[in-house]
Amino acid sequence: MTSDKTKVSEEQITYANILNIGMSVGFVILCITFLLYVFGVFPSFVPIEELSRHWGKKVHQFNHDLQAPTGWNWVHFIGKGDYLNFIGVAILAGLTIVCYLAILPALLRKKDMPYVIIAIAEVLVLTLAASGVLRAGGH
């Protein structure tokens, strides 16, 4: 009988731990902000009772008809119950960047240059995409 033990690297453990904590925090925030929205603790940009009238619209039409914010302009509406939910989404979306930044020191210590380059490229591309500098898809 042979034992096939797989060794897990320091970077994998760090990445997984941050991802686990971040996912948990993001999920809890999503749940809390959703409940605040549903129970009307904060006023909504689009009142819940009107929301079903807009479900079938394409995003462009929805944004146009309601003068809804696009891109990072949602931050200006953080006091609205429906946009409060975006906090959890932003946390979850940014986790990959945080994870790559966290493993970068270990990769540099190991002088693992291919992975250092990949990690830096990932951080740059994801940060530029999140900032709105890189755009694709015609939106």
Mean pLDDT across the stretch 98-124? Answer: 96
Contact 88, 19 (CB under 8 A): no
Q: What is the DSSP string of the chain?
A: ----PPPPPHHHHHHHHHHHHHHHHHHHHHHHHHHHHHTTSS--SS-HHHHGGGTTS-HHHHHHHHT---GGGGGGGTTSHHHHTHHHHHHHHHHHHHHHHHHHHHHHHTT-HHHHHHHHHHHHHHHHHHHTSS--S--
Q: Residue 4: pLDDT band by 50, 70, 90 thresholds?
A: low
Instruction: Report the percentage of the chain scoring pLDDT > 90.
Output: 68
Residues 81-99: what's their mean pLDDT?
A: 94
| Average confidence (pLDDT) over 86-111 | 95
The mean pLDDT of the chain is 90
Q: What pLDDT score was predicted for residue 135?
A: 67
For residue 41 the two structure tokens come to 């603790």
Q: What's the whole-model pTM score?
A: 0.79
Residue 30: closest CA among 76, 75, 90: 90
99: nearest Cα among 71, 126, 135, 75: 126
CB atoms within 10 A of CB 87: 17
Residue 6 clears pLDDT 70, i.e. is over it: yes
Write out pLDDT tens, residues 18-74: 999 999 999 999 999 999 999 999 999 988 888 889 889 998 999 999 999 888 899
Say how many Å lie between the first and final Cα of the chain, rounded: 57
Other C-beta atoms lying within 10 Å of the C-beta of residue 55: 7
Mean pLDDT throughout 122-136? 84
What is the pLDDT, as a whole number, of residue 48? 83
Q: Which residue has the higher pLDDT, 47 or 123?
A: 123
